Structures are given as C-alpha cells and as structure tokens.
Amino acid sequence: MRFPATDLAVDLPCVMGIVNVTPDSFSDGGLHADTDSAVAHGLLLASEGAAILDVGGESTRPGSEPVPVADELARVVPVIERLAAGAPAAISVDTTKAAVARAALDAGATIVNDVTSLRGDPDMAALVAERGCPVCLMHMLGEPRTMQVDPRYDDVVGEVVVFLEERMAAALSAGVRETQILLDPGIGFGKTLEHNLLLLAHLDRIAALGRPVVLGASRKRFIGALLGAEPRQRETGTVVTTVLGLARGAAVVRVHDVRSNAEALRVAQAVIEAGEAGRARGARGAGAAGTAGAAHRANVAGRAHEESAP
C-alpha cells in the first residue's frame, strides 16, 4: 500500500502511541500524570511498536475545560525532553497552543497534533511553517467542552471532507508545505455513533484528499456503545477499527493499546500487499496472455491464408 509523500521521519503505515500527561483524560486520566510515569509509559509504548509517541498535557474529552499554558508546559516539556533522548520513536505534541508547541519542538518533538486544525491559536500556523514540522489537522465540531451537545450534520462525510480541504488550503496559504500535512477526521469529536461509523466506512474519501490520514478511534465512546464496554475494555473494538481503517486508507492509527494494534496493522498490511501484488501479477498475466493470444490468432490466420492461396 502506498501513501502520499510526507515529512514524517517514520515509515507508513504506523502506530502512534498515546501518552496522556493529564489527570482527566477519558480513558487513562491520572495514570501517567507525573513525569516519571509518563516517560516510562512512553518507553513501553515504543518498545511495543509505536513509531510515534503523542504527548498531551490537556484533555480533549467531551466536557473538558482549557488548561493554562504554564500548566500544560510543566506537564509536557519534561516528558518530551526525556522521550526524545531515550525513545526509539518520533515525538508528537498534542496541543492547540503555539507557545506549548514551540517549547515542545525545542525540547525534541518533531510533530504538532492540533485538534483545532490551526484555528485555536493565531500563531500556530506561522510556527509550523517556520519550523517545517509535520502537522495533523483534525475536524472537530465546536470545542471539547460542548462538542457532544447534540452534534448534527446534513452529510457528515461530505462536511468533514470540505472542512479538511479548507483547513489544508489555509495551512498552505500560511506557508506550510503540503508534505507536512496529515489529516484526521476527528472520530468522537462532535459526532454521534452513526457519524463515527459513517466516517470509518468512508475513510477512503478522506484519503482521497491526497494526504496521510490519522485515525484516532482508540477506546472511543462509540465502541463502548456498540460493545457495552468501559474505556479500558475496548481494546478489541479498537483493533477492528485499525484493520478497517488501514483497508480504507489510514496511514497512522493513534491508540492506547499499542502492541495489539501494531500486530493487527502488520498482519492487515501483509494481506493488503499480497492482494495488490496478486492483482498486479494477474494484470501482467492477462496482458501477456492477450499478446500471446493475438500472436496465435495471427499465426492461424496466416496459415489459413497460405492454405487457401492458389
């Protein structure tokens, strides 16, 4: 499977492991809220197969409140410094604030993951353009505090596609290179169960925009609704979204449970590549058979002509 050219210093497809340095994330809030625990968790995720570690110091769960810049900096910068020095993975900072992104990049991060798609801070686009780092642009309806209050769309897939097209154009006009841009449909960010399922089913329409797609379905509420499971019991459901997402063009899967999703990604990728190779061989074989058939028919016709000649 081929993906668009990118400035990511990792091979695609890949797993992005989640490192929440927060007390209130929906799935693992408080488990890794101190620096030592967060670093240890990041190193574990890298050892399990995460090519990218996404470090965040502000929860974006439904109903969450903004975190002051100073608090976010104190949470993420020490973790990023240590992971950048010791983890065999690229480091992403999950933030909406240019000041936090700047400090994180100075500390060793190489990717900015902005759930506001460069709308939350007027200085973010210029910073990304100046640093030349990859940036993930995500769709979100409203803001985390209110996004799950009766989200409505006439055509969720079409509207998300148009939004991401517009945000990509805005990033390019701000000086961000196309090869820096990744796109995320924002599963769970202002979407109902049906909205999320439709986006997963039609993820290929996001991929058709020509940039690597980041899929963040891990442990999300819609999986819990389908399975009747609490967040930490949604690993199997998440693995299913990883496999389906890859088949529909996802290049990066952002997950809590790295090992199971990394293994699923490897197997699914092998199957997809085998299928592509088989189709290519079949096409070449059909072409060769067609050529041989044409030559045979021409030869038969030639002999018939010779036999009927006076």
Task: Please compute, for residue 197, the number of CA atoms within 13 A of its CA located in the half-sphere on the CB side.
Answer: 9
User: For the packed helices 193-201 and 235-247, what is the interaxial angle rounded to 10 degrees?
Assistant: 40
Geometric angle at alpha carbon 192, from 148 and 246, rounded to 5°: 115
Q: How far is CA 191 from CA 49, 175, 243, 292, in A?
A: 29, 31, 21, 55
Q: Residue 88, preceding bond cis, omega within 30 degrees?
A: no
From 102, 211, 221, 254, the catalytic residue: 254
Q: Tell which phi-psi region holds residue 212, choosing left (phi > 0), alpha (psi between -120 and 50) or beta.
A: beta
CA distances from 208 to 4, 14, 49, 234, 265 (A): 10, 19, 27, 29, 20
Nearest residue to 163 (alpha-carbon basis) of 136, 183, 191: 183
User: What totals of helices (H) and strands (E) does the chain contain, helices first?
Assistant: 10, 8
User: Do 203 and 212 contact (CB within 8 A), yes or no?
Assistant: no
Please say if 254 is a catalytic residue.
yes
Query: Are the C-beta atoms of 55 and 109 separated by less than 8 Å?
Result: yes
Q: How far apart are CA 265 and CA 52, in angstroms?
A: 14
Q: Choose the catalytic residue: 82, 211, 220, 234.
A: 220
The answer to whether the CB of 94 falls within 8 A of the CB of 53 is no
Q: What angle do CA 212, 187, 1 make, to 5 degrees?
A: 30
- Catalytic residue numbers, as ranges: 220, 254
